Structure 1
Amino acid sequence: MTTIHPFGEPFGMTKFTNHDAYIAAAPESFQPLLVQLRAQLAKVLPDAEEFIMYDMPGFGFGKTIIAGYAAFSKQCGLYVSKGAIAALADDIAAAGLKATKTGVTFSTKKPIPDELVEKLALASRKEAGL
């Protein structure tokens, strides 16, 4: 049974082993966005580990997720701590993006700015105390 995610249908139920495999399986139109997001997170969190957790690529330390991302059929999402989303709600709105309690959704028409990725990742890391 496949669960329909509120952000659109999942692009596959494959179990991914690394970020490259995840991005390669994402809808082609989103792949450049995901490559850029991954690069920005790696730059902002240079000492973090890359891993796959909950079938999504992420960055973190041990079992603590600092930032994760996902692609769906109609948009992508960046997932960070609740505190990071709350603290940067004005920046998210100023970028014309929508947020849930733990994520910001974006698309090719409205990509997430690198500066916002940086702020969100650093705020999430700070909240985790790492």
Structure 2
Amino acid sequence: MSDHDAYIAEAPVDLRPLLEQVRAQLSAALPDAEEVVKYNMPGFQVGGSIVAGYGAFSRQCGLYLSKGAITALADDIADAGLKASKTGVTFSARKPIPDDLLRRLAAASRKDLGL
């Protein structure tokens, strides 16, 4: 996988619009970040550190961030009806991640990483 476009093109058809939206929101939230693909997953890198990454699975997508970002916005994630792990938030086409929450998570991850 060489780039975000290729990754999205290979994702399940029903998840592609969701991935495009996540990519656009992360790009807006992290305008100086470089788009990279590491560990077969697209992400946004600042100064050599991955600030946010995303991925598609068979029925859902995931947004991957720093542990501090997930902790800082845990209540907002729960209020949106989404599930979080230590470093990720899962969402689907039926229950997408709100744009505002996605942007705040990206900013919180960057802050947590000191970038």
TM-score (norm 2): 0.98
Unaligned runs of 5+ in 2: none
Q: CA deviation at 1:59?
A: 0.2
Q: CA deviation at 1:63?
A: 2.6
The two structures, once aligned, show a CA RMSD in angstroms of: 0.6
**What does residue 64 of structure 1 align with?**
49
Query: What is the correspondence of 1:10-49 to structure 2 with a 5 Å cutoff?
Result: 16-49=1-34
Higher helix fraction: Structure 1 or Structure 2? Answer: 2
Could you list the per-position Cα deviations for residues 107-130 of structure 1 after superposition, in whole angstroms to 9, with x for gaps in the alignment? 011000001101100000001111
Question: How many residues matched?
Answer: 115
Q: Return the match for 1:118 from 92, 99, 103.
A: 103
- The one-letter code of the counterpart of 2:3 is N
Identity of matched residues, %: 68
Q: Return the match for 1:51 from 5, 28, 36.
A: 36
**What does residue 5 of structure 1 align with?**
none
Corresponding position: 1:93 with 2:78: yes
- The one-letter code of the counterpart of 1:54 is Y
Give me the whole-angstrom Cα distance separating, in 2, the residues matched to 1:62 and 1:44: 16
Helix, strand or coil for the counterpart of 1:77? strand
Could you list the per-position Cα deviations for residues 57-105 of structure 1 after superposition, in whole angstroms to 9, with x for gaps in the alignment? 0001243000000000010000000000001000000000000000000
- The one-letter code of the counterpart of 1:69 is Y
**What does residue 62 of structure 2 align with?**
77
Unaligned runs of 5+ in 1: 1-15
Q: Which aligned segments of 4 or more residues in structure 1 are displaced greater than 3 angstroms?
A: none
Helix, strand or coil for the counterpart of 1:57? strand
